[in-house]
């Protein structure tokens, strides 16, 4: 199904030609309201405040960091791997690098030596900043290493720099995907990526200057660096981050004591709070919650609202563009849907067999048909490309559309229904089956806390669909629950879509960022 019609481009306001992401996120607010609070850091165990940063003091630290990086020999475009512990130093270093026109690479402090060596080597980083300097790491020639103390000393020894005069499409930061089955890929973003987040302000967050945004993640997570820091600061709002262990029971107290008006987390955090926290009926000043990172169970949103009296708004996104589909105070949720395309964004559903390549031209599918979820490459939030992987760029391109491997359909009102990942699609007797469709049907059964479906091998050359089930505390015994699930499937799914096997598990396998790993569940399947 090909054609010559030119797809609609991003229709929102374009970023200025000269644009620095750090100036936009921090410098503008520091000029307008220097003494307003930009960041507060809390102790999760006591709910006590550990740090308070005004926009003025935050900008000073960021620009001193930029000057320190220049003083140790970095030049524009040099890559900086940031592998610090979960402290405010992490955020200051990241934005300090961006401010100076360097390219930070946010990395977890928990990376193994092998993983660290890959990121350093693949990116050809000039500087590695880590808690201990990674003295045993075999780095390339010319690699500079700093530990947290050395960096602090270097920052204190210089005067603040000025923001680099970067262009909107200059590289700003590089992130590596988690890479569960192959080596991670670097996703390179421009300074304009911060501008490309503007559609989220109204169409997901409902965010204003008076808000206090509490993010459940750590400083080293791009979800936190974006939703938890960049976006509140760009609106003159206050970002809130908690340090230390955060069992589910602590979140209600943290939300109340920090005065959070908006709370952002992955769906798993909300599930755990509903299961283990007993004071959800008093969340202080909270107006609503935000969730992204994975598809939530159908029951999560209504269960949260029943327990708290507050709404929760979902968003769908990816490393290559952040979120682009969402619900919000102005976009009411619809069962089974992640929401509608955010203002200005051009979204389409393309045929599942669309040919890949930048020269292809394919007509989007009409409403109601299932296919590949695509975003127009003119979006300012779209990545510049995969780091030195032109073939990978071509593989996710259908003409001027970017396709990240998500399957979806769009209804007549523009609501997008996520149907799972292209790589997750199961083959049942020659029929393509989306695990998300099955999970949405089966998770409604009383006694199911979580459920995931995957294709498994039951004997050599024989593969079937298996449902992996985490039972709730109120569930009946397993045999009764399995029988109920089978009846539910018989009544609501075509024969080729029904799971042939059911397994009780204690937990679902997830990545460090909370994303479901169906392939790991399938590998752990035990044959009868």
Question: Using an 8 Å Cβ cutoff, are 265 and 291 in contact?
Answer: yes
Report the SS3 class of residue 18: strand
> Element (H or E) spanning 453, and its range?
strand 448-459
Helix (H, G, I), strand (E, B) or coil at 152: helix
pLDDT of res. 361 = 82
Which pLDDT score is estimated for 522?
Answer: 85
Residues 23, 99 contacting (CB under 8 angstroms)? yes
pLDDT at residue 97, as a whole number: 98
Q: Output the tens digit of pLDDT for each of the chain's 528 residues.
A: 333 345 589 999 999 999 999 999 999 999 999 999 999 999 999 999 999 999 999 999 999 999 999 999 999 999 999 999 999 999 999 999 999 999 999 998 888 888 899 899 999 999 999 998 887 787 667 899 999 999 999 999 999 999 999 999 999 999 998 643 456 889 999 999 999 999 999 999 999 999 999 999 999 888 999 999 999 999 999 999 999 999 999 999 999 999 999 999 988 899 889 989 989 999 999 999 999 987 787 889 999 999 999 999 999 998 899 999 999 999 999 998 999 999 999 999 999 888 888 788 889 999 999 999 999 999 999 999 999 999 888 889 999 999 988 889 999 999 999 887 776 777 665 566 778 778 888 988 999 999 999 988 887 667 789 999 999 888 889 999 999 999 999 988 878 788 999 999 999 988 766 678 887 888 888 666
| Sequential DSSP letters for 302-359 | HHHHHHHS--EEEEEEETTTEEEEE-BTTB---TT--BEEPTT--EEEE-TTPPPBTT
CB 444 within 8 A of CB 454: no
**What's the count of helices (H) and strands (E) in the chain, helices before strands?**
17, 26
**Rounded Cα gap, residues 230 and 219, in angstroms:** 12
pTM given for the model: 0.83
pLDDT for the residue 247? 92
């Amino acid at each position: 199904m090909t054609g010559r019609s030119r797809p609609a481009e991003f229709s929102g306001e374009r970023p200025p030609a000269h644009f620095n992401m750090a100036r936009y996120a921090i410098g503008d607010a520091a000029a307008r309201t220097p003494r307003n609070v930009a960041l507060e850091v809390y102790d999760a165990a006591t709910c006590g405040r550990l740090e308070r940063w005004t926009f003025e003091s935050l900008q000073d630290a960021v620009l001193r960091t930029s000057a320190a990086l220049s003083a140790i020999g970095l030049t524009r475009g040099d890559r900086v791997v940031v592998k610090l512990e979960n402290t405010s130093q992490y955020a200051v270093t990241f934005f300090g690098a961006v401010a100076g026109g360097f390219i930070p690479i946010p990395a977890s402090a928990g990376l193994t030596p092998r993983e660290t060596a890959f990121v350093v080597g693949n990116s050809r980083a000039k500087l590695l900043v880590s808690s201990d300097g990674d003295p045993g790491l075999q780095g390339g020639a010319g690699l500079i290493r700093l530990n947290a103390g050395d960096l602090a000393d270097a920052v204190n020894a210089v005067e603040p720099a000025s923001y680099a005069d970067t262009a909107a499409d200059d590289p700003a930061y590089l992130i590596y995907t988690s890479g569960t089955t192959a080596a991670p890929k670097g996703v390179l973003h421009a300074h304009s990526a911060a501008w490309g987040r503007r559609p989220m302000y109204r169409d997901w967050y409902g965010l204003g200057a008076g808000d206090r945004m509490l993010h459940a993640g750590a400083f080293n997570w791009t979800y936190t660096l974006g939703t938890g820091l960049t976006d509140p600061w760009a609106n003159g709002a206050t970002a809130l981050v908690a340090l230390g262990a955060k069992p589910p029971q602590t979140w209600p107290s943290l939300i109340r004591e920090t005065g959070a008006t908006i709370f952002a987390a992955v769906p798993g955090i909300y599930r755990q709070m509903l299961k283990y926290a007993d004071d959800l009926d008093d969340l202080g000043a909270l107006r609503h919650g935000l969730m992204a990172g994975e598809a939530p169970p159908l029951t999560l949103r209504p269960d949260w609202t029943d327990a708290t009296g507050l709404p929760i708004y979902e968003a769908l996104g990816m490393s290559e563009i952040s979120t682009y589909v969402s619900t919000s105070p102005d976009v009411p949720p619809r069962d089974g849907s992640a929401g509608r395309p955010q203002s200005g964004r051009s979204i389409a559903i393309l045929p599942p067999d669309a040919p890949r390549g930048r020269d292809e031209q394919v007509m989007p599918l009409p409403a109601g048909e299932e296919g590949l979820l695509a975003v127009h490459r003119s979006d300012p939030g779209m990545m510049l490309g995969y780091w030195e992987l032109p073939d990978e760029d071509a593989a996710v391109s259908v003409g001027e559309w970017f396709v990240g491997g998500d399957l979806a359909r769009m209804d007549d009102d523009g609501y997008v229904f996520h149907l799972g990942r292209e790589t997750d699609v199961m083959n049942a007797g020659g029929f393509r089956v989306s695990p998300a469709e099955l999970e949405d049907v089966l998770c409604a059964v009383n006694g199911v806390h979580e459920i995931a479906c995957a294709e498994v091998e039951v004997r050599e050359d024989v593969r079937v669909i298996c449902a992996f089930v985490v039972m709730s505390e109120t569930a009946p015994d397993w045999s009764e629950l399995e029988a109920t699930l089978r009846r539910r499937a018989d009544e609501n799914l075509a024969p080729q879509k029904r799971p042939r096997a059911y397994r009780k598990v204690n937990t679902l396998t997830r990545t460090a960022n909370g994303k479901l790993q169906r392939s790991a569940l399938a590998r752990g399947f035990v044959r009868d």
